[in-house]
């Protein structure tokens, strides 16, 4: 289809259970595209039911990239993902196809598209900071980060020990604020971002149905197989997987686990909407619109023609659940 070197990556974002994968697949069909995953958990082999990963038949012959590239025992690296996914996009465009990125992991979407640095690490510095978490608690590190980088501290919760350790590690190694290395709303990879929004009540119903479907499809058996294989820290803490693992340890009943998964997924959806809702470049669409694909294609056409501005220029941009 003769795409130019500045071809825009069509990107579908938004909260879980809004139908992002289905829209991305439809757009790939219409645009002669290939899909690039931007969901951190769909990188993992064997994590299929709990992540609502499209099965091979459901992909309808459309090539999908950045799926099943990690073992569940591995910890995902945003830096590795950035390099791999950008290489995939370059290869897709070199083949004359259109890259359609899709996912709800905000940091991974930003790493894929935006100017984003990845400062190095130092095992000794990290080990010392992790020891402090054990000895002093994560709130002590949050207080230190608040004094050294208030912007970073405002975006990292006082119980998020992993991110607190990383922020203080970067400050120590670079002598700069951690927030200086965080992504800005500036594209490194030119893109048009389409966000799927949904009424809160409707989304909660969709989430309940998704959780029920996960159990019907065999989530418990999937998690058991992963546990036998060896499941790492990242995978074991994911919504859906953490709760089922808790049932294996006798900490939750299966009914309690199902309720906890639904509640955790609702919290995740709010968090995702907060992340993407702050990005003025996301053009929001109603996930329930009968002409959703047509609306999305019209936005892509305007973006390709250079006539689509920031989403904040739209007459009534959708920026939050239930709006």
15 is in an annotated binding site: yes
104 is in an annotated binding site: no
271 is in an annotated binding site: no
Provide the whole-model pTM. 0.84
CA distances from 169 to 141, 145, 156, 174, 175 (A): 11, 10, 14, 9, 10
Architecture per CATH, domain 9-115+187-313, reads as 3-Layer(aba) Sandwich (3.40)
Digit-by-digit pLDDT tens for the chain (323 residues) are: 444 447 999 999 999 999 999 999 999 999 999 999 999 999 999 999 999 999 999 999 999 999 999 999 998 899 999 999 999 999 999 999 999 999 999 999 999 999 888 888 899 999 999 999 999 999 999 999 999 999 999 989 998 999 999 999 999 999 999 988 777 789 999 999 999 999 999 999 999 999 999 999 999 999 999 999 889 888 899 999 999 999 999 999 999 999 999 999 999 999 999 999 999 999 999 999 999 999 999 999 999 999 998 765 554 445 455 44
Which pLDDT score is estimated for 121?
87
Domain range list for the chain: 9-115+187-313, 123-181
Which pLDDT score is estimated for 212?
97
CATH number 3.30.365.10 given to 123-181: no
Query: 226: which 2 tokens?
Result: 């992963």
Give every CB contact of residue 146 below 8 A, 6+ residues apart in sequence: 153
17 is in an annotated binding site: yes
* Tally of residues, the chain: 323
Q: What is the Rg, in whole angstroms, of the alpha carbon atoms belonging to the chain?
A: 20
Query: 35: which 2 tokens?
Result: 């899909």
Q: CA 48, CA 3: separation in Å to the nearest integer?
A: 33
14 is in an annotated binding site: yes
Helix (H, G, I), strand (E, B) or coil at 101: strand
Q: CB atoms < 10 A from the CB of 282, how many?
A: 26
Which pLDDT score is estimated for 155?
87
289 is in an annotated binding site: no
19 is in an annotated binding site: yes
16 is in an annotated binding site: yes
Give me the helices (H) in the chain, please: 20-31, 78-94, 106-113, 123-136, 138-148, 150-155, 161-174, 200-217, 219-229, 233-236, 241-248, 254-277, 292-305
């Amino acid at each position: 289809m003769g795409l130019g070197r500045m071809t825009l990556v069509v990107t579908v974002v938004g909260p879980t259970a809004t139908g992002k994968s289905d829209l991305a697949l439809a757009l790939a069909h219409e645009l002669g595209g290939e899909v690039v995953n931007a969901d951190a958990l769909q990188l993992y082999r064997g994590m299929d039911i709990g992540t609502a990963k499209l099965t091979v038949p459901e992909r309808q012959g459309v090539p999908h990239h950045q799926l099943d590239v990690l073992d569940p025992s591995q910890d995902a690296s945003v830096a590795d993902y950035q390099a791999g996914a950008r290489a995939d996009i370059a290869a897709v465009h070199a083949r004359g196809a259109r890259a359609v990125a899709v996912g709800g992991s905000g940091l991974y979407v930003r790493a894929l598209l935006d100017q984003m640095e990845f400062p190095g690490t130092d095992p000794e510095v990290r080990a010392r900071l992790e020891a402090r978490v054990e000895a002093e608690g994560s709130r002590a590190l949050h207080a230190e980060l608040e004094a050294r980088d208030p912007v970073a501290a405002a975006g990292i919760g006082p119980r998020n020990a992993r991110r607190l350790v990383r922020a203080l590690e970067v400050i120590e190694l670079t002598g700069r604020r951690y927030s200086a290395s965080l992504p800005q709303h500036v594209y490194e990879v030119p893109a048009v971002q389409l966000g799927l929004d949904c009424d809160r009540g409707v989304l909660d119903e969709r989430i309940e149905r998704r959780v029920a479907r996960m159990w019907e499809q065999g989530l418990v058996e999937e998690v058991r197989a992963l546990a036998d294989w060896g499941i790492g820290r990242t995978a074991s803490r994911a919504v859906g997987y953490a709760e089922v693992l808790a049932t294996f340890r006798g900490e939750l009943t299966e009914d309690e686990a199902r309720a906890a998964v639904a509640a955790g997924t609702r919290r995740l959806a709010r968090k995702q909407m907060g992340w993407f809702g702050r990005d003025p470049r996301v053009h929001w669409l109603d996930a329930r619109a009968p002409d959703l694909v047509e609306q999305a294609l019209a936005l892509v056409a305007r973006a390709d023609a250079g006539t689509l501005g920031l989403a904040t220029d739209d007459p009534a941009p959708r920026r939050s659940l239930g709006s």
